[in-house]
Amino acid sequence: MKVILFGAAGTVGRGVLRQCLLDDRVTAVLAVGPAPTGVVHDRLREIVRADLLDLAPVEAGLRGHDACFFCPGGPGRPRAAGETLARLNPGSAFVYVSGARVDRAAEEALLALPLRSYVFRPGPVRPEGGVTARTGLHRLAYIVVRPLYPVLRRVLPATATTPGQIGRAMITVAERGAPRRVLGPADINAL
């Protein structure tokens, strides 16, 4: 499967990229974002593009992919990417990681496109594998909340997930679908 990954430089995106490169089902990854990932791998190609609302200049590179994993925030961006990919790769899978401030209109617009669209609402995401948040505020939040993750995992195992679990679930959903199109932490962890 050939995958486009938006947001590979973020906390969730880096975990998803790592899983894509570890999984033999993924034959190629095209990372698209405003900054390079810093990762070198024979299955990874990158397009550095600051403006994710206008993908027209890079459309040729987006053709022929089986799935798109969209990890960066911002409600207008997933819709712009989804509309472009629906035109270029109709019927492909599109998995959007929605944030804490859910934009239901953006989700509904994505689910209405001629794509096999899914929305992931992961809840609290515990960084793993040495991945840290890029902004100071998020880094501080992870440091403060880190001791609570083991408690959350025991008391409410369905409420927290990791970037690696999100990545593995995205690959599985792109390959064979899911029982629902909007998936929460328990659904993601089960996949």
The model's pLDDT over 104-143, given as tens digits with 9 standing for 90+, comes to: 888 999 999 999 999 999 887 877 765 555 556 555 655 6
pLDDT band for position 163 (50/70/90)? very high
How much is the pLDDT for 58? Answer: 96
Q: What is the pTM of this model?
A: 0.87
Cα–Cα distance between 105 and 103 in angstroms, integer?
5
Judging by DSSP bridges, how do beta strands 67-70 and 93-97 pair with one another?
A: parallel
How much is the pLDDT for 138? Answer: 52
| Higher-scoring residue by pLDDT: 106, 49 | 49
Residue closest to 58 by CA, chosen among 76, 90, 80, 28: 80
How much is the pLDDT for 154? Answer: 65
Cα–Cα distance between 188 and 96 in angstroms, integer?
12
Q: At what angle do helices 76-88 and 104-112 cross, to 10 degrees?
A: 0
The C-alpha angle 107, 190, 157, rounded to 5 degrees, equals 95
For residue 100, pLDDT over 70 is answered with no
13-35: average pLDDT: 96
The model's pLDDT over 69-98, given as tens digits with 9 standing for 90+, comes to: 999 765 558 988 999 999 999 999 999 998
Give the whole-number percent of the chain exceeding pLDDT 70: 80
**From the CB of residue 133, how many other CB atoms can be counted at a distance below 10 Å?**
16
pLDDT band for position 63 (50/70/90)? very high
Q: What does pLDDT average to over the chain?
A: 87
Judging by DSSP bridges, how do beta strands 67-70 and 28-33 pair with one another?
A: unpaired
Please name every residue paired with 33 in a beta bridge, in sequence order, or none if there are none. 48
How much is the pLDDT for 62? Answer: 97
Can you give the length of the chain in residues?
191
Residue closest to 95 by CA, chosen among 176, 186, 154, 9: 176
Cα–Cα distance between 177 and 139 in angstroms, integer?
33
pLDDT band for position 65 (50/70/90)? very high
178-189: average pLDDT: 93
